[in-house]
Structure 1
Amino acid sequence: MDRIKKLYVDAHGAIDALLKDADHEAFDLAAACVLANGREGDATAVVLVAPPSTSKTEMVNAFSGVKWTYEQTSMTAQTFVSGWKSGSSTDPSLLARLEKKGKTCLLNKEFTTVMEMRQSERDTVLAHIREVMDGSLSKDFGTGKTVSWSGKLGLLAAITPAIEIRWGAHTSLGARWVWVRIETPSDAESRVEIAIAAIESDDSAKVLRRELKDATTKWLESSRSVPSPGMSEKSKLYLAKLADRTAKGRTEIPKDKDGHPSGVKPEPEGTGRLARSFHRLAESLAILRGHAEINAEDLRAVTRAALDTAPVPRAKVYKAIAQRPLTIEEIVQKTSMSKSAVNRTLKDLEQVDLAVSEPVSTGQRGRPSEKWRVV
């Protein structure tokens, strides 16, 4: 494990050399996704979310040298399986080619383009990805040919926050998808410092990218055969409860034609697939960090990903009231959200059994109040 720890330090040093104020935990989660897809077990998908021209593309590119990864930026309804056949016996389907090459993790740094497709084509692509993540895909063609595939193929993708406006597409991707929102400075001073650092490293950026790619490749490929770390019963229970909260937290609330809650109780997705994804990420994080057992640091990173997987307003409000019960005014102050947005979000969390309000005394007659807490 000492060698893995050294390679971990080398990889993080390389990303620091290329990027100022890199989000190291997000980098670890991306690496954990790639490693999980290179080991035995179900496929795992992680989506890195950040504004354009930030670090998400550099992070995805860093893993392109790992021998079980494959870069695929363009995705259409014909990407995974193809009914076309040339004069040769070679199957042109991407899935068949990847299986032959031993590639089990796709890298896509432009997943936003999928979300910007026409709805019919986007729905087809997302349906194919969901089936691939589940381990099998079958498609009939007008020629009478049926193409079937079974195997393993995970995904590390990058996308802009525009995904928020297509939450329906987000939830249709499947239960194994986990989101990681890369932390990027928003204050003017930090943004200027990042721009200055980019200018100063302009001449050496190509070399720094190659060094990051080399360091990351050594780190991941050396970790692939490391025995699985131990996991306590306490950690197992924690991940199970985290999967339950996450499934509830990203559940869509049924709305009427005017966009108001319909009053119908929403039904969250099952917890099994999310739980397995969280376990795979926690296990891979422990391996990559040189831990003999999944520990609090690894669980903290997975918890961050779980919160990132929920809609931003829900995650903000949930984190605020998870610390202690708060009034609506206190939540507004803590989250910088409008009062109406906080009210809507609290009602959403209440609908999925993640938050509840309790009356509190204000000490003033006729001035009842309430505080919200997590369930």
Structure 2
Amino acid sequence: MGRGLLGEAGSRIAALEARTAAIVTDGHVGPLYAEALAASLQQHGLRVSIITLPPGEATKSYASLERVCDAVLEAKVERGDLVVALGGGVMGDLAGFAAAVVRRGVRLVQVPTTLLSQVDSSVGGKTGINSLHGKNLVGAFHQPSLVLADTALLDTLPIREMRAGYAEVVKYGLIDDPDFFAWCEANWRGVFDGGPERDEAVAQSCRAKAAVVVKDEREDGDRALLNLGHTFGHALERITYYDSARLVHGEGVAIGMCQAFRFSVALGVCPPADAERVEAHLSEAGLPTRLAQVPGGCGTVDELLDAMAQDKKVKGGALTFILVRGIGQSFIARDVPVASVRAFLQDENSTSRP
């Protein structure tokens, strides 16, 4: 990770000793970087093809997976060759899943181009697509051979996408590092402005995630803590039909983290002041924190509960949440009573304000 790494991509990827690379990108990122990346790889002796898909969360679909898999096979990518995911989390998840299943597994390189993908989705080996039943419910664990996080690419990222990625940065402080959350409160403007604070935020986030993944690669235990805010957030994404115009992932996570804190307060396990502090910081950074801020609404309580019932952490039909005893004190709460969740969501709907 660092500034200017895309210019070194050819030599770094060539060091993996592959013969062929299929670059998977989207219509936003591809025109900016795909040809330069392909040329760099070709200069180092690789045969290259470029696969371009529409941008947006809706691309994480069965139809797109089929298209990518067929294109990778048509490019004659062998098991020792590479799929290169160039883009944000959507491209990383989709291309990574294709790499996991084509020929029962080819190698993967992640070149994340958004803050969210640099600090979260490109690290840890989770890949997948969405289903009508929920977010990321079809996928595989498939670790990349290399991740190149060029923080200079974030200079041209739209502010909304920067904010969305920043929600995942803040998450690492809220999980188990109150000092990092305090650092975020003091330094978030530098992260957005592209100063040294940005590189530090990316590095610290990756360190935090890697430390968890090394201990629990397949989310059998504490890796679930990385889903702080995601049970609520994924439900909101499903309710809004993965329409990026209404809600992007990081916005759902921001609302979800605030809900996790407020729910913890409602259950009597978290001080109200901590929930207020989290909401104040995310609001200051320009992120939504309330259900009423979802354009077009977020459905009924029953619809939200139905979406939560498809969460990947559900076991034996029982809801599992990541809750908190305070900032930096998250824990896994299993068998959370549906009645408690329903009462909380009803209160959220009645008291939520723009």
- What is the TM-score of this pair, normalised by structure 1? 0.30
Higher RCO (C-alpha under 8 Å, 6+ residues apart): 1
| Bigger proportion of residues as helix | 2
Q: State the structure with more CA Rg.
A: 1
